[in-house]
């Protein structure tokens, strides 16, 4: 919808300053910040949620000091606060913190009162199906109505978050709790039991919460960290068993609360964050993945949003104290997914060695690095080190997706660059030796199995004859072209070489559209030639027998720049798992541009092109390394013999080295043309 059109419309009932999708905890936090702030008193706000919520479907507990703004906002409505807590077997009186509980029913009541008593707040019981961010507003579709607002706050999960939720190995925190009335033993009446692992673990990580209230009431809740959520027919048995062990023999169930929340660090990184749309609550990644607590964080987020709205700033993602907490969470979650049965041991050793208050500060991400070291040291070391390496492994996987070889080649190119600058006398012959070695294998052998590509069966002499004749014809045509029109011959050589180099690179990177072959091949050749302007100029002078030929600086610069850009284009089309390989290729080329032309070209031809071609041939022909080498050997030896023959012939005619160059290139152009032809046929018919 055209945004100018919206602006020109008279103010209507469906136009709001802010729309909040979901009347849950995050919505409540925003309303609590806005209720008494004059800035928001004239703002029209709409809350959309299909559900009418009145009962205790969940409880919002949090811990804080008594000066904390979140506590001060809700102090009047809290069901209870506890100074004494029990975590595992450790029971302690907190000094600067208290543990608070706000029942869901009370929170929904506060929200209802707020909405009813503020004329600028509207509420509709509708499900939001869709929204789209326009330049000047957000368009929201709910039921059969359309609304517009300046900013949308949403607790609804987006598509990528919903996809994450569907993952089979997603860790979840699931709950099953009873609000009960019972004769609670005296010693339990003033202590909040936060994580009691003394229940059957059943190869899972599960524990019980127990929050005693005034008047013999309590919330007893079974919580599980696991891929499979708690089943509602199993949970009552475990709760009964636990209550029995605490000496509570009879009770009346007043209400039941249950639910499940995802435990993933990815939920936050996939939150919707636009200029006019902000994810809040669970969808905004405000629930700490390793604990499932989020109420206090949502309060802080609401405070940040309020300040940004008042200063007309763009709303940024929620602030987080430090990335290291995300990392700790990741390690713990990785461990719990793989070995949930270790959860009990981990938490119990933490509670045994660390005071409750420090553990709570740690879980609230408020500890210093030194404090964290003592906390981490209390945990089973071996388990965490293993998990640490696994988490790193997940990251390293991205780097190792390219395999080891491209890294080695990059390092080698770097060493050659450094060596060439520091000790050119030593490194120039070394680079040359490497190049010759690389030509011996895989440079020449990769082009010595064309018979396997051109011949369907190699067992009949007539087929051989036809193949060799075809091969020689292509070579003869190339030689003839060079003799008649050397410039055309050179141009053709450059074009089909570019095609061929690009084709191998693109096959490797999984891009199969022809024009990209040419683009990539052009990129590599133009970049190498352009960055070696002087050497290119000399070669062209000799090849074309034009001693005055000049490669101007603008032409060389244009070649380098367009070459570099052409190599960059595949980046937009590449699959994620190939991205690192592409980065390494470009990085190697950039480094190689600092080496003499022959060495730089050798790095590309041997280290990138021939190695990949050889791998493709092995895969496409389903040959082992040894078998392919065996088939390549006769023609490799043949190629050496022809090369030596050429060398011997030219020496015999006593030709100065400079005058060899045209013959060398003629030879290269002639032998590469049929090879390129057969490789093209191979790539067209075989899957790499």
Binding region for ligand FAD (CB under 6 A): 21-27, 48-51, 58-62, 127-128, 155-156, 175, 257, 259, 261, 281-282, 287, 292-295
196 beta partners: 208
The DSSP secondary-structure symbol of 282 reads G
DSSP string, 103-125: EHHHHHHHHHHHHHH-TTEEEE-
- The residue (of 154 and 387) whose beta carbon lies closer to ligand FAD is 154
- The residue (of 362 and 499) whose beta carbon lies closer to ligand FAD is 362
Kind plus residue range of the DSSP H or E element containing 658:
helix 657-685
- Closest CB 214 distance from ligand FAD, rounded Å: 19
- The residue (of 52 and 553) whose beta carbon lies closer to ligand FAD is 52
CB 670 within 8 Å of CB 475: yes
CB 28 within 8 Å of CB 111: yes
- Closest CB 127 distance from ligand FAD, rounded Å: 5
Structure tokens at 142: 């709910």
Structure tokens at 270: 């996939």
- Closest CB 607 distance from ligand FAD, rounded Å: 52
- The residue (of 333 and 603) whose beta carbon lies closer to ligand FAD is 333
- The residue (of 22 and 318) whose beta carbon lies closer to ligand FAD is 22
- Closest CB 156 distance from ligand FAD, rounded Å: 4
- Closest CB 115 distance from ligand FAD, rounded Å: 14
- The residue (of 175 and 499) whose beta carbon lies closer to ligand FAD is 175
- The residue (of 230 and 409) whose beta carbon lies closer to ligand FAD is 230
Across 392-547, the runs of DSSP E, i.e. the strands, are: none
- Closest CB 261 distance from ligand FAD, rounded Å: 5
DSSP string, 304-316: HHHHHHHTTPPP-
- The residue (of 51 and 190) whose beta carbon lies closer to ligand FAD is 51
- The residue (of 287 and 448) whose beta carbon lies closer to ligand FAD is 287
- Closest CB 335 distance from ligand FAD, rounded Å: 22
Strands 251-262 and 121-124: unpaired
- Closest CB 191 distance from ligand FAD, rounded Å: 17
Distance CA 420, CA 581 (A): 26
Q: Which residue has the tokens 């302007």?
A: 533
252 beta partners: 181
- Closest CB 211 distance from ligand FAD, rounded Å: 9
Distances, alpha carbon 100 to alpha carbons 74, 75, 253, in Å: 10, 9, 22
Which of 267-283 are b and which e, b meaning 16 or more Cβ less than 10 Å from the residue's Cβ? bbebbbeeebbbbbbbb
CB atoms closer than 10 angstroms to residue 139? 17
CB 257 within 8 Å of CB 177: yes
CB 100 within 8 Å of CB 62: yes
Residue with nearest beta carbon to ligand FAD: 24
Convert 605-655 into a string of H (helix), E (strand) and C (coil): HHHHHHHHHHHHHHHHHCCCHHHHHHHHHHHHHHHHHHHHHHHHHHHHCCC
- The residue (of 26 and 639) whose beta carbon lies closer to ligand FAD is 26
Distance CA 328, CA 572 (A): 34
- Closest CB 682 distance from ligand FAD, rounded Å: 53
Gyration radius of the chain over CA positions: 36
Query: Which is nearest to 31 in space by CA: 111, 136, 129?
Result: 111
Query: Which is nearest to 148 in space by CA: 299, 1, 296?
Result: 1
- Closest CB 18 distance from ligand FAD, rounded Å: 15
- The residue (of 101 and 676) whose beta carbon lies closer to ligand FAD is 101
């Amino acid at each position: 919808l055209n945004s100018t059109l919206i602006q020109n419309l008279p103010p209507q009932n469906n136009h709001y300053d802010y729309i909040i999708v979901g009347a849950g905890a995050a919505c409540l936090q925003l309303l609590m910040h806005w209720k008494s702030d004059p800035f928001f008193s004239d703002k029209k706000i709409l809350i959309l949620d299909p559900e009418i919520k009145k009962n205790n479907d969940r409880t919002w507990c949090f811990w804080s000091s008594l000066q904390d703004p979140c506590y001060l906002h809700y102090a009047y409505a809290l069901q209870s606060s506890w100074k004494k807590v029990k975590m595992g077997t450790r029971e302690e009186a907190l000094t600067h913190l208290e543990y608070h509980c706000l029942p869901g029913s009370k929170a929904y009541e506060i929200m209802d009162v707020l909405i009813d008593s503020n004329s600028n707040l509207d509420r509709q019981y509708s499900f939001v199906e869709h929204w789209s961010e326009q330049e000047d507003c957000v368009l929201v579709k709910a039921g059969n109505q359309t609304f517009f607002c300046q900013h949308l706050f949403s607790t609804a999960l987006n598509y990528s978050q919903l996809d994450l939720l569907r993952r089979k190995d997603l860790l979840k925190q699931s709950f099953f709790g009873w609000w009960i009335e019972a004769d609670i033993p005296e010693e339990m009446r003033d202590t909040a039991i936060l994580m009691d692992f003394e229940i059957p673990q059943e190869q899972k990580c599960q524990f019980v919460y127990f929050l005693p209230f005034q008047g013999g009431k309590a919330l007893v809740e079974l919580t599980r960290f696991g891929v499979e959520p708690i089943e509602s027919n199993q949970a009552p048995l475990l709760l009964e068993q636990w209550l029995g062990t605490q000496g509570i023999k009879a009770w009346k169930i007043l209400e039941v609360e249950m639910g499940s929340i995802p435990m993933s660090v990815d939920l936050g990184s996939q939150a919707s964050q636009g200029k006019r749309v902000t994810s809040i609550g669970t969808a905004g990644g405000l629930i700490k993945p390793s604990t499932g607590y989020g109420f206090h964080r949502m309060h802080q987020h609401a405070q940040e949003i309020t300040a940004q709205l008042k200063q007309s700033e763009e709303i940024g993602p929620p602030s987080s104290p430090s990335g290291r907490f995300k990392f700790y969470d990741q390690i713990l979650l990785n461990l719990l997914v793989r070995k949930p049965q270790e959860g009990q041991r981990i938490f119990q050793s933490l509670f045994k060695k660390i005071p409750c208050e420090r553990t709570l500060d740690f879980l609230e991400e408020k500890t210093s690095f030194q404090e964290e070291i003592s906390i981490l040291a209390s945990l089973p070391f071996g388990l965490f080190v293993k998990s640490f390496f696994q988490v790193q492994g997940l990251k390293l996987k991205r780097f190792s997706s390219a395999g080891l070889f491209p890294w080695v080649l990059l390092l080698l190119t770097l060493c050659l660059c450094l060596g060439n600058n520091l000790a050119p006398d030593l490194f120039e012959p070394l680079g040359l030796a490497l190049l010759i070695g690389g030509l011996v294998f895989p440079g020449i052998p990769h082009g010595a199995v064309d018979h396997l590509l051109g011949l369907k069966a190699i067992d009949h002499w007539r087929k051989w004859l036809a193949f060799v004749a075809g091969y020689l014809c292509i070579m003869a045509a190339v030689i003839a072209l060079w003799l008649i029109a050397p410039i055309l011959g050179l141009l053709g050589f450059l074009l089909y070489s570019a095609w061929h180099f690009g084709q191998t690179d693109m096959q490797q990177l999984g891009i199969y559209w022809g024009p990209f072959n040419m683009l990539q091949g052009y990129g590599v050749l133009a970049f190498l030639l352009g960055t070696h302007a002087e050497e290119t100029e000399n070669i062209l002078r000799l090849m074309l027998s034009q001693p005055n030929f000049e490669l101007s600086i603008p032409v060389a610069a244009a070649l380098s720049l367009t070459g570099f850009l052409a190599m960059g284009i595949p980046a937009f089309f590449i699959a994620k798992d190939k991205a690192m390989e592409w980065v390494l290729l470009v990085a190697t080329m950039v480094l190689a541009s600092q080496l003499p032309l022959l060495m730089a070209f050798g790095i590309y031809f041997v280290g990138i092109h021939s190695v990949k071609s050889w791998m493709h041939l092995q895969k496409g022909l389903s040959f082992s390394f040894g078998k392919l080498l065996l088939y390549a050997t006769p023609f490799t030896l043949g190629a050496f013999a022809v090369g030596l023959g050429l060398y011997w012939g030219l020496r015999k005619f006593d030709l100065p080295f400079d005058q060899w160059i045209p013959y060398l290139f003629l030879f290269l152009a002639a032998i590469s043309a049929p090879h390129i032809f057969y490789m093209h046929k191979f790539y067209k018919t075989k899957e790499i």
